[in-house]
Amino acid sequence: MTDTKAGRVVILGVGNLLLGDEGVGVHVARRLAQVELPEGVEVIEAGTMPTEALGPVGDIARLVIVDAVAADGPPGAVYRLPVSVAANTDAELSLHEFTLAEALAEWRLRGLEADRIVIIGVQPHKVEWSTELSPQVEANLPKIVDTAIAEAIAERTRTDDSQ
């Protein structure tokens, strides 16, 4: 088990704000920027350039990625995706120009192990020109925010409890 106290804990909001629900990760990052986060948790608004926005990854103990995913579920559904599914280059989960598989491959080359990554995927309703979320996704923002925070601190909590 990775010692999460030794590194950064990052929630990375990914997506394109100009395409409605495709920007859900960025909307979540902006919401998180307005609340008091647990100690040691940072939020990065990555837009459509997550590898560049994240910067060095060697010191990351836990990375929680929030992004829109095409999972064929009901609009606003929230999924905790295994890295193995997102790392599959045949999976078409991402809705923007980079694929999640490409970002994960780059981070692994730079030293970020898969066991330190959690993906929170949100099923979009509308991916079209708009800076607003659909009512279905907007209604689930509090749940998505809570899920991201819970995932960010989950490993730290388990590590603290075992000592």
Joined tokens for residue 56: 């060095």
pTM: 0.87
Round to whole Å and give the CA distance between 62 and 60.
Answer: 6
User: pLDDT tens digit string along 84-117?
Assistant: 766 554 444 554 555 677 888 888 889 899 899 9
Most confident of 10-24, 43-57, 86-100, 144-158: 10-24
Please identify, in words, the CATH class of the domain defined by 4-161: alpha beta
Round to whole Å and give the CA distance between 60 and 114.
Answer: 11
Domain boundaries along the sequence of the chain = 4-161
